[in-house]
Amino acid sequence: MLNYILRRLLLIPVTLFGIMLLNFVIIQFAPGGPVEQVIAQLQGTDVSSTARITNQGGDSGGSSSSGAGNNFSSTSSYRGAQGLDPEIIKQLEVQFGFDKPAHERFWMMMKNYLTFDFGQSYFQDRDVVDIVLDKMPVSISLGLWSTLIIYIISVPLGVAKAVRDGSSFDIWTSAAIIVGYAIPGFLFAVMLIVVFAGGTYFDWFPLRGLTSSNFDELSLLGKIGDYFWHLTLPIIALTIGGFTTLTMLTKNSFLDEINKQYVVTARAKGLTERRVLYGHVFRNAMLLVIAGFPSALVGLLFTGSVLIEVIFSLDGLGLLGFNAVMTRDYPVMFATLYFFTLFGLVLNLISDLSYHFVDPRIDFEAREN
């Protein structure tokens, strides 16, 4: 097993490099880069004041702007750049690092990322690491609690449905979770706000933020209560459609195991139904369910909560990544991609190892040989 872990760890940097390279190449062909974003903001402003602003920006980047327009063509390749001084555009390129060839920028970026130096945001004038750390509590709160609640409800419900397969309980619970799955999370979030957050009926829950303004003044129990008070509606909205897949996966896994010969043999030996179910069936049936926990957490942590964050005014990683794409804030885009990919690859390895942990009979090295 140690050799398998070592090989998977060695594959992580190769896979990470390939993903970063592919996305970097795609971005080079995407219109509306950061230079064009600034050009769009500068249109209609006084050129002299614009020059002063860009000179300050170029100096802060540590690049000299003297003679910057000597070798710059008077016809700019940027859309909307007509009418701007070519020297200003050249200074923007130096400021954002676009005065260097693409391959040089990529190697410099990857070299810095190896030491977790993600640079500064183009438009927020802050270190990317500080920005990500500020957003992390929201995403961790939403992703972790939502995943735990989904598993806590779905696994026992799936087991109960498998034991009562075909009964009225099985039928109406299936109908309920399918209805929940059919309701979009963002639409359910709006309904929760209208009903419970001061929209039309009740004003029981806060509408925005992860904590109250007086959070620091509260006692320990008060802080815990305030934290979950703010999270109640977003987590309900995020989890409403998450029960169907896991519940049905649990049910089908148990049904598949219940019909196997070893279960018949265990019952023939006089074991109680509870002992057969939880002593023999549970371990085998839960392989897929437990091993899928890391990937489910990644999905909710990084990709599943963008609209929920927007609706409840929660400033998390999902909203950060979306805004970075829209504003072409490349340092934030690539840094979050690097971090999310690395985190996902590590969790995939943990997911594989969880198979072996749940059932030691599973040997990945033997399968490879």
User: What phi and psi values does residue 197 have, to the nearest 5 degrees?
Assistant: -120, 35
Which of the four pLDDT bands, split at 50, 70 and 90, describes residue 289?
confident
pLDDT at 339 over 60: yes
Pull the structure tokens for residue 62. 């540590």
Residues 209, 313: contact at Cβ < 8 Å? yes
Per-residue pLDDT tens over the stretch 41-81? 666 443 333 333 344 444 433 333 333 333 333 345 555 55
232 vs 365, more confident: 232
Pull the structure tokens for residue 319. 């909203």
Pull the structure tokens for residue 340. 């999310």
Cβ neighbour number for residue 300 with a 10 Å cutoff: 23
Which of the four pLDDT bands, split at 50, 70 and 90, describes residue 368?
low
pLDDT of residue 267: 81
pLDDT of residue 63: 37
pLDDT of residue 172: 93
- Gyration radius (Cα) of the chain, Å: 27
pLDDT average, residue stretch 300-323: 77
pLDDT of residue 21: 92
Q: Which residue has the tokens 């598993």?
A: 151
Residues 177, 247: contact at Cβ < 8 Å? yes
Pull the structure tokens for residue 109. 């970026």
- Average pLDDT, rounded, for the chain: 76
**Cα–Cα distance for residue pair 194/203, rounded to 1 Å:** 9
The CATH code belonging to domain 129-368 is 1.10.3720.10
Per-residue pLDDT tens over the stretch 147-178? 889 888 988 898 889 888 889 999 999 998 88
Per-residue pLDDT tens over the stretch 72-108? 333 455 555 555 556 666 666 666 667 778 888 889 8
Three-state DSSP at 120 gives strand
**Cα–Cα distance for residue pair 23/14, rounded to 1 Å:** 14
**What is the residue-wise DSSP string for 20-32?**
HHHHHHHHHT-SS
pLDDT of residue 162: 87
Nearest residue to 85 (alpha-carbon basis) of 68, 101, 110: 68
Residues 283, 358: contact at Cβ < 8 Å? yes
Residues 132, 333: contact at Cβ < 8 Å? no
Cβ neighbour number for residue 21 with a 10 Å cutoff: 12
H or E, element range at 180: helix 168-182
Which of the four pLDDT bands, split at 50, 70 and 90, describes residue 15?
very high
For residue 203, the cross-strand partners are 197
The domain limits of the chain are: 33-115, 129-368
Rank 92-96, 221-225, 261-265, 364-368 by mean pLDDT and report only the highest: 221-225
How many helices and strands, by DSSP H and E, does the chain display? 19, 0
pLDDT of residue 72: 32
Per-residue pLDDT tens over the stretch 243-286? 888 888 888 888 888 878 888 888 888 878 788 887 778 777 77
pLDDT of residue 46: 37
- The rounded Cα 5 to chain-centroid distance in angstroms is 25
pLDDT of residue 4: 79
Pull the structure tokens for residue 245. 């897949």
Pull the structure tokens for residue 180. 């929940």
pLDDT of residue 45: 44
pLDDT of residue 201: 80
Per-residue pLDDT tens over the stretch 131-141? 888 888 888 88
- The rounded Cα 24 to chain-centroid distance in angstroms is 19
pLDDT of residue 61: 39
Helices 168-182 & 243-258 angle (0-180, nearest 10): 150
Three-state DSSP at 127 gives strand
**Cα–Cα distance for residue pair 79/319, rounded to 1 Å:** 27
**Cα–Cα distance for residue pair 304/296, rounded to 1 Å:** 10
